[in-house]
Structure 1
Amino acid sequence: MSHEDKMGQTDLVLDGHIELAVALADIARQILASALDTVLAVEVKPDRSLVTRIDVEIERQMRGLITARFPGHGIIGEEAGTENAGASHVWVLDPLDGTAQFIAGMPVYGTLISLAIDGVPALGMIDIPAIDARWIGAAGRRTTKNGRLVEARCCDALSSAILTNSNQDYLPPDGRPILDALREKTGARIYGGASLNYGLLAEGRTDIALDGGQKVHDFAPFRPIVEGAGGIVTDWEGRPLTLESPGTLLGAGDPARHREALAIIAQCRAEASMP
């Protein structure tokens, strides 16, 4: 098989994966739309996050479709855990990212879908149905929003940057000083956007995203989406995100601003470790 044939075959496989991700997001949108005006029973999980029957039902249907299409693939889901984790291809699902926001009627809830290959997120989707926004990123391809190419923006200085943070409550103990330091250096701050923040970062609407205390289903889609738009997202050590990442996130549209923010994080941690 020629190199061109191999590349074409790879593209066809990726197209099939993207097609499935779209079908999974469509399942979530349909179920969420049917529950918008419903009063839902809410349970508090051990980590103090919230779950409803909607989260569980979306994931159940998503898992069923993945298993039907790709029975050899693994799945990591927020609600039903992990199956076939040793597979080379593992789908990572957050059926309802922002359950509290959904319950409260705030339109930043959505669905996160990722496909990791050998532990590295290679395909990602952020779907925010309330604003009809769907970002898709895939390794080797440009990121799109609703089918349109998007691009992260350059930022001349941190002093003009827009910083986002999804929820300060999730930051680790050393996270508050880091957030405070970035507050002082940046031009504007926006809080509470959940996964929407990373779609907006890829779209060139914001500049820096800082989060902590995230689980793999919370962040797996962000790497292919942000990188496919020309940005960068890592952990707080500057390491690219994998399924094993610790859940500290630093995203930036401009790699130079990312380096500056990483230096601030390192300085804050060094000062915290001093006797």
Structure 2
Amino acid sequence: MSAENSLANFLDVLADAAGRAILPHFRTAMAVEDKTAAGSGKAYDPVTIADRAAEAAMRALIGLHHPSHGILGEEFGPERTDAEHVWVLDPIDGTRAFISGLPVWGTLIGLTRDGVPNLGMMYQPFTGERFAGDGRRAWYRGPDGTRTLRARPCAELSDAVLFTTTPALFKGAAREAYDRVESRVRLARYGCDCYAYCMVAAGHVDVVVETGLQAYDIVPLIPVIEGAGGIVTDWAGNPAPQGGSVVASGDRRLHAQVLALLAGG
């Protein structure tokens, strides 16, 4: 087995461990903490024992099997992030959905090589679905079998389905920019967090527009969308492995139109 295939298989090992840590807590009366500093004025930022247990389980496996690799995780921060390979972990992307009992959260697992997203997976242990990619190809495994993921063609905004977590993310000029895009699409829907990006890769959604993302929110999803033939950039059209304001599209023609509108066109 090549080193590349070994690392791709390790995505499944990490996903399985995360799922075992998370599922016993889903739809239970667990305690929920708010990570937001008191008086900061920032939005509610929940965290649960499931988030922390899942990240701890994945970190332990990385330390055991790939001790030279670095880690960047949402709950426990950076570790050896100057390494050639760095695992980027969001144990529960969509914690608000998780604590609300909605199955539109997922475990995000990414791997960068020299800072470039190289592998990624979104695992939803409750539904048993895995969306994964390596930037050249993308694949799905779940209750309805195994298949290759392909983004769908969509050349015009008037035909597009748009997702964002919520328009409330956008303030001032950013909200005006987002509204220019939403006003042109066929359908806009809100919520779903990482699931929306996976639906771009699966060919059910055409574009996701968001802001305020961290690296662990987007790095694991970039190889999936790009492997399915899509594109992920920041609002200026640059690579987006650090997060921030992000656009993910299934069709490059559509992507160019979205960027133009976000820029004021």
Report the TM-score, using the length of structure 2 for normalisation.
0.92
Counterpart in the other structure of 2:255: 258
Higher mean C-alpha displacement, 247-256 vs 160-169 = 160-169
The total of aligned residue pairs comes to 255
Report the equivalent of 1:28: 18
Work out the CA distance in 2 between the residues paired with 1:32 and 1:144.
23
Deviation track 1:150-189 (CA, whole Å, cap 9, x = no partner) reads: 1001013110100000233433543211221111110001
Aligned pair 1:93/2:89, yes or no? yes
Moved over 4 A (4+): none
SS in structure 2 of the partner of residue 248 of structure 1: strand
Q: Contact 2:22 / 2:53 at 8 angstroms: preserved in 1? A: no
> In structure 2, what is the equivalent of residue 75 of structure 1?
71
- Map 1:121-136; keep pairs closer than 5 Å: 121-136=117-132
Cα displacement string for residues 132-156 of structure 1 (whole angstroms, at most 9, x for unaligned residues): 221111133x100114101001013
Q: Distance in 2 between matches of 1:99 and 1:221?
A: 17
Would you tell me which structure has more strand in proportion to its own residues? 2
Alpha-carbon offset, residue 39 of structure 1: 1.0
Alignment map for 1:107-256 (pairs within 5 Å): 107-140=103-136, 142-146=137-141, 147-171=146-170, 173-242=172-241, 245-256=242-253
For residues 135 and 228 of structure 2, the distance between their equivalents in structure 1, rounded to whole angstroms, comes to 11
- Superposed displacement of residue 119, structure 1: 0.6
Cα deviation for residue 130 of structure 1 reads: 3.0
Would you tell me which structure has more helix in proportion to its own residues?
1
Alpha-carbon distance in 2 for matches of 1:25, 1:36? 16
Deviations along 1:18-42, one digit per CA (max 9) or x if unpaired, are 1111111111222222112421111
Q: Which structure is larger by alpha-carbon Rg, 1 or 2?
A: 1
Instruction: Report sequence identity in percent.
Output: 38
Report the counterpart of residue 106 of structure 1 in structure 2: 102
Give the match for residue 40 of structure 1: 30
Provide the C-alpha distance between the structure 1 equivalents of 2:13 and 2:173, rounded to a whole number of angstroms: 40
Structure 1 residue aligned with 2:39: none
Cα distance in 2 between the residues matched to 1:108 and 1:246:
20
Aligned to 1:154, the other structure's residue is in SS state coil
CA deviation map 1:217-262 (0-9, x unaligned): 11111211111001111111101222xx342110111100000000
1:123 and 1:139 in contact (8 A); partners too: yes
Instruction: Give the TM-score, by structure 1 length.
Output: 0.89
Q: 1:265 is matched by which residue type in structure 2? A: L
Give the Cα separation in 2 of the matches to 1:41 and 1:155.
Answer: 43
For structure 2, the residue ranges without an aligned partner over 5 or more in a row are: 37-41
1:254 aligned partner, one-letter code: D
